[in-house]
Copies of this chain bind each other. A is one copy, B any other.
Amino acid sequence: MTRARILESAFELFVDKGFAAVSVREIAERSEVTKSLIHHHFGGKEGLWEEVKQLAFAQYYQGQKEELDQAEQPGPELIMRAVINYFEFLRNNPGVVRLFAWTHLEGDTSCSEMDGELVRLGAERVRQAQQAGLLRDDVNPTHVVTIFVSLCTQWFEARDHHCNWPGMGSDQEFLDDFLKVFMEGLLPRP
């Protein structure tokens, strides 16, 4: 469908250059339609941008919600699996990562509630594990989730940047080291 082709081209370009640096003409050319048609379907550049974002957000939200909704006994293993899952999602969806980054810089907070809900779910799991004595309880559960989320996010956002740092390992090696430190730092203190 034409609509989908436009959305795809727009996604690629927005991911690559950000909203301001992409022209409607460019999107039209890549999706092999006329500029007018984009206007017809999306109302304008802004409308298209919103729809692209919404699609990406929905994809993100759905994938993460699924994982978090699986009712299991909270504990270190569950937390770790959630982190790995999140890490994998970002690895497989670099476009979404960049779209989020552009969006944040532009001050768009439309995905705040969505993200807030996911964080709330994650923090609840951490809290349960704390109450069960499986994780140290002297740290804010929301902070724990934020640590995991921020680290995964930044790893992929700045990947091109720090992949050249001396001594840097692969995705997997970084994740392993990062989990080693945090999972053990989260264990109950004697």
Q: How far is the CA of A124 from the CA of B22 in the complex (A)?
A: 42
- Pick the residue among B102, B115, B185 that contacts A186 (CB under 8 A): B185
Q: A119-B162, A185-B182, A185-B186 are in contact. Are A142 and B169 (CB under 8 A)?
A: yes
Q: A105-B98, A158-B150, A189-B184 are in contact. Are A165 and B142 (CB under 8 A)?
A: yes
Residue of B nearest to A98 (CB): B105
Residue of B nearest to A162 (CB): B146
What's the dominant secondary structure at chain A's contact region?
Answer: helix
Contact B18 A178 (CB under 8 A): no
- Pick the residue among B98, B165, B183 that contacts A119 (CB under 8 A): B165
Chain A positions 158 through 169: 1 when the CB is less than 8 Å from some CB of chain B, otherwise 0: 101110111111
Binding site for B on A (CB under 8 A): 17-21, 98, 101-102, 104-107, 109, 111-112, 115-116, 119-120, 123, 136, 138-144, 146-147, 150-151, 153-155, 157-158, 160-162, 164-169, 173-174, 177-178, 180-186, 189
